[in-house]
Amino acid sequence: MKKLPFMGSGVALVTPFTEDNKIDYDSLSELIEMHIRHKTDAIVICGTTGEASTLTDDEQEAIIGFAVKFAAGRIPVIAGAGSNNTAALIEKAKRAENAGADAILSVTPFYNKANYSGVTAHYECLSHTVDIPIIIYNVPSRTGMSMPVDALERLSELDNIVGIKEASGNAAFVSKIRYSVPEIGVYSGNDDIVVPVMALGGVGVISVCANIFPDRVHEMCRLMLDGKTAEAAKLQNGLSEVNEKLFSEVNPIPVKSAMNTLGYRVGKTRLPLGKMDRKRFDDMMKVLYDYGAERLS
């Protein structure tokens, strides 16, 4: 397997906003510090959970640069950089690398999708643009396409394409990747199947749940990396209802709603993501409190 930017629990970090919808850097620094203290293995910033689709390119570059400077090498910073326009992706990736990101997480082209030749050329261009590691992000429910395994095989020949965040929810597809492209590290993109993915040879998770329960997600991954599957499965099973509620509406609406209630000051989601349904919110908070959710310092 290629050298990876991290193994274990990478938090898909929310982007905190002020009341006037600007980036809240004070809150961002508090969140990063909290994750360092609670042993999260990487910060994944400006991804889906970080509302990258509502951030300007300048905002994304500023957030990445701030996170890198604040983390100061204490934790890897993985920057989201995705687009359905390859030229725009290249520009985003250059800016992320120049801002100091340790690696890039890049979603497959969405809406216009891409055929085999297009998606391979898309990532080949990205690979030739930056020197830092690249993790491909496969999330068919959002993009309308699934990364072809034969394309991944071809792309794995490029030195800096090192991993895939696999969020199809399909364990058979994970198994196929591990068999066909063993040199690529597989990160679970679904909080509800971290243990199954790692049991098939995955190396960790890029987690929404870790925004609230960083210790438990880190410990679950550590146990799996140590070969303690039964103990890890207990944590996975215990988090099952939590994960269900955190995805009861479109991510990151539930997790941000929960974090604000717990006192984290992360602000509202930017439009077009709106306010969470009250009943779903109440049901979610009951489950989170029952599981011991609290603000971590």
How confident is the model over 12-38, as a mean pLDDT? Answer: 98
Structural domains of the chain ordered from first start: 8-232 (3.20.20.70)
- Using the structure block, give the residue that is written with the tokens 């196929």: 176
Q: What is the pLDDT of residues 31-78, one digit of tens each?
A: 999 999 999 999 999 999 999 999 999 999 999 999 999 999 999 999
pTM beyond cutoff 0.85: yes
Q: What is the pLDDT of residues 70-115, one digit of tens each?
A: 999 999 999 999 999 999 999 999 999 999 999 999 999 999 989 9
CA–CA distance, 168 with 190 (Å, rounded to integer): 8
CA–CA distance, 222 with 232 (Å, rounded to integer): 8
Angle (CA) 101-105-109 rounded to 5° is: 135
Contact 127, 104 (CB under 8 A): no
Residues carrying an active site annotation: 137, 165
